[in-house]
C-alpha cells in the first residue's frame, strides 16, 4: 500500500472516530435533556398527587341524622315568627335536646356538654336555613341530617375502623362510644361538602368555604383585565411603532424590563402608600387589589405585546404604506390584527400570574377575615391565594384538607388559563 493510500485510510479513520465522538456527545445530550424533562414531570406529578391526597377529603363531610322536635317554646319564637325571629331563635338548643333524647342515659351535665360537641357549630345555621325554606316544619318532629363537628369528621376520615377504636387524640372515650352507637344505627354518613363552594370563610372548618374569596379574586381579575390590557397594548404599540429612538425610550424600555423582575411585595407597598393612604381608596377592596395587580402585570403584557408586534413581517407595513395608508391606519388595520393573538396570549399569562399573587394583596389589607360574599369592587373582600395563606396558618386540623382543596381549585384555574392561552396561540397565530 502506497503512502497516499495509508494517509487516506488514516484520515478516514480519524474522521469516523470524530463523528463517533460527536454522535456519542449528541446522544448523551439528548439523554440528559430527556432525563431533565422526566425529573420535572415526576416532580410536578408528585406535587399534584400530594396535594390531591391531602385535599380530596375536604370535598365530603360527616353528617349525623337526628330526630328533632321543632318546638316553638324551645326555639323561643311566636306561632307566626318574622324573619328576624327565625334568625335569632335558639336552634342549638333543640339540637342539644335531640341528642340528649337520643342518648337518654347521659344525665351528667358535663357529659351532656361533651355530647353536644358531636355536632358542629354550623349545624344550628343549617337547621335554621332548612326551616326558613319550609316554615311548615315548625312545631313538628323531623329527621334531618346535620353537620358533625370538625373533630368528629377528622376522626372518621383518619380512622379505618371507627367501630373498634377505643381511644383517640381527637375524641374522648365517651364521645367515641356515642359516635359508634350512631354509626351502628346508620345515623352517620359522608356527604358532599357543598359549604366549600357556597359559603364564605369561617373559624370552624366544617362551615368554611371559598365563595367569598373566589368572587373577590374574580372581581380583581376583572379590574386588572380592564386596566392592564388597554394600557399595556397601547404602550407596546407606541414604543414599537411610533416612539423615536432616543435615550428616553431606551430608559423606558430598561425600566419596563426591570419592573418585570421586581418582587411583587413592592407593588403592594406602592398600593398601600399611594392608593390607600394618599388617595383614600377603600382598604381590602377588589378595586385596589385590581389596580395593584395591574401594575404587576403591565411589564409582562408590554413585553409580550412588543414581541408579537415585532414578529409581524415588515412587508405588511411596507405594502400598506405603499398603497397610501397612513402610519396609524397601517398599525390599526394591518399590524394590530396580526399581532393580537400574541398580545392576548401574553395578557392571559399575566392574568394567571396575578391570580396566584399573595404578597401584594396582604400589604393592602386583603388578609382580613371576610365572611360575606362581595357584591361589588368596593366591598371588603379576600382573595383565593390569601384565603389559602390564612387557612394554612390555622391550628385546626380540619383546615389542612381545606387548604389543599383550595390549592387544587386555584391550580385548576391556573391550568385552565394557561391552556386557554396555548389554545389561542395555536388557533389564531399566523406563520410567516
In a domain, 218, yes or no: yes
Phi first, then psi: give them for residue 312, nearest 5 degrees.
Answer: -70, 130
Q: Are residues 240 and 125 in the same domain?
A: no
Q: Are residues 222 and 100 in the same domain?
A: no
In a domain, 171, yes or no: yes
Q: Are residues 418 and 322 in the same domain?
A: yes
User: Using an 8 Å Cβ cutoff, are 205 and 170 in contact?
Assistant: no
Sign of CA pseudo-dihedral 333, 338, 341, 343 = negative
Query: How many domains are there within the chain?
Result: 2
Q: Are residues 323 and 350 in the same domain?
A: yes
In a domain, 291, yes or no: yes
Q: Are residues 279 and 395 in the same domain?
A: yes
In a domain, 199, yes or no: no
Domain boundary among 193, 222, 237: 193
Q: Are residues 336 and 378 in the same domain?
A: yes
Q: Among 171, 138, 137, which Cα is nearest to 157's?
A: 171
Q: Are residues 247 and 385 in the same domain?
A: yes
In a domain, 65, yes or no: yes
Range of the domain at 389: 211-428
Rounded distance, CA 347 to CA 345, Å?
5
User: Using an 8 Å Cβ cutoff, are 401 and 153 in contact?
Assistant: no
Q: Are residues 147 and 264 in the same domain?
A: no
- Read off the pTM: 0.84
DSSP string, 330-348: HIIIIIHHHHHHHHHHHHH
Q: Are residues 180 and 276 in the same domain?
A: no
Rounded distance, CA 394 to CA 382, Å?
16
User: Using an 8 Å Cβ cutoff, are 149 and 119 in contact?
Assistant: yes
Q: Are residues 232 and 145 in the same domain?
A: no
Q: Among 158, 165, 99, which Cα is nearest to 127's?
A: 99
User: Using an 8 Å Cβ cutoff, are 167 and 114 in contact?
Assistant: no
Q: pLDDT truncated to tens, each residue of the chain (432 aa)?
A: 555 555 565 677 777 777 888 888 888 999 999 999 999 999 989 988 888 888 888 899 999 999 999 888 888 888 888 888 888 888 889 999 999 988 888 888 888 888 888 898 888 888 998 988 988 888 888 999 999 988 888 888 888 777 777 778 888 888 889 888 899 888 999 999 888 998 888 888 888 889 999 999 999 999 999 999 999 999 999 998 888 888 888 888 888 888 888 888 888 888 889 888 888 888 888 999 999 999 999 999 999 999 999 988 888 888 888 888 888 888 888 888 888 888 888 888 888 888 888 888 888 888 878 888 888 898 888 899 999 988 888 878 788 889 999 999 998 888 888 888 888 777 776 665
Amino acid at each position: 500500500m502506497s503512502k497516499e493510500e495509508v494517509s487516506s485510510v488514516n484520515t478516514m479513520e480519524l474522521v469516523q472516530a470524530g463523528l463517533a465522538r460527536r454522535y456519542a456527545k449528541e446522544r448523551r445530550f439528548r439523554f440528559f435533556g430527556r432525563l431533565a424533562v422526566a425529573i420535572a414531570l415526576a416532580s410536578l406529578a408528585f406535587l399534584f398527587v400530594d396535594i390531591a391526597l391531602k385535599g380530596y377529603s375536604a370535598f365530603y363531610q360527616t353528617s349525623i341524622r337526628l330526630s328533632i322536635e321543632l318546638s316553638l317554646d324551645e326555639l323561643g319564637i311566636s306561632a307566626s315568627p318574622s324573619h328576624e325571629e327565625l334568625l335569632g331563635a335558639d336552634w342549638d338548643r333543640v339540637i342539644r335536646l335531640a341528642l340528649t333524647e337520643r342518648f337518654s342515659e347521659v344525665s351528667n351535665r358535663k357529659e351532656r356538654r361533651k355530647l353536644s360537641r358531636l355536632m358542629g357549630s354550623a349545624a344550628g345555621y343549617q337547621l335554621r336555613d332548612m326551616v326558613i325554606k319550609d316554615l311548615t316544619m315548625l312545631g313538628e318532629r323531623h329527621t334531618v341530617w346535620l353537620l358533625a363537628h370538625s373533630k368528629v369528621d377528622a376522626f372518621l376520615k383518619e380512622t379505618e375502623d371507627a367501630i373498634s377504636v377505643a381511644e383517640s387524640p381527637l375524641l374522648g372515650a365517651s364521645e367515641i362510644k356515642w359516635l359508634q352507637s350512631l354509626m351502628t344505627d346508620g345515623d352517620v354518613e359522608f356527604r358532599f361538602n357543598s359549604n366549600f363552594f357556597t359559603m364564605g370563610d369561617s373559624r370552624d372548618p366544617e362551615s368554611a368555604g371559598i365563595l367569598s374569596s373566589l368572587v373577590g379574586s374574580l372581581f380583581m381579575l376583572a379590574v386588572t383585565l380592564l386596566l392592564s390590557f388597554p394600557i399595556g397594548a397601547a404602550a407596546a404599540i407606541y414604543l414599537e411603532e411610533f416612539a423615536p429612538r432616543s435615550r428616553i425610550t431606551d430608559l423606558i424600555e430598561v425600566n419596563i424590563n426591570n419592573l418585570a423582575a421586581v418582587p411583587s411585595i413592592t407593588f403592594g407597598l406602592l398600593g398601600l402608600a399611594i392608593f390607600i393612604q394618599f388617595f383614600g381608596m377603600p382598604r381590602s377592596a377588589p378595586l385596589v387589589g385590581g389596580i395593584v395587580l395591574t401594575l404587576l402585570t403591565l411589564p409582562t403584557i408590554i413585553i409580550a405585546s412588543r414581541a408579537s408586534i415585532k414578529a409581524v413581517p415588515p412587508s405588511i407595513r411596507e405594502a400598506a404604506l405603499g398603497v397610501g395608508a397612513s402610519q396609524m391606519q397601517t398599525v390599526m388595520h394591518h399590524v394590530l390584527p396580526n399581532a393580537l393573538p400574541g398580545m392576548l396570549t401574553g395578557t392571559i399569562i399575566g392574568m394567571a400570574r396575578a391570580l396566584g399573587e399573595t404578597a401584594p394583596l396582604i400589604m393592602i389589607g386583603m388578609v382580613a377575615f371576610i365572611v360575606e360574599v362581595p357584591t361589588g369592587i368596593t366591598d371588603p373582600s379576600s382573595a383565593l391565594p390569601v384565603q389559602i395563606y390564612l387557612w394554612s396558618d390555622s391550628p385546626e386540623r380540619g383546615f389542612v384538607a381545606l387548604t389543599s382543596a383550595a390549592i387544587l381549585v386555584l391550580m385548576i384555574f391556573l391550568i385552565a388559563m394557561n391552556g386557554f392561552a396555548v389554545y389561542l396561540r395555536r388557533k389564531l397565530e399566523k406563520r410567516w
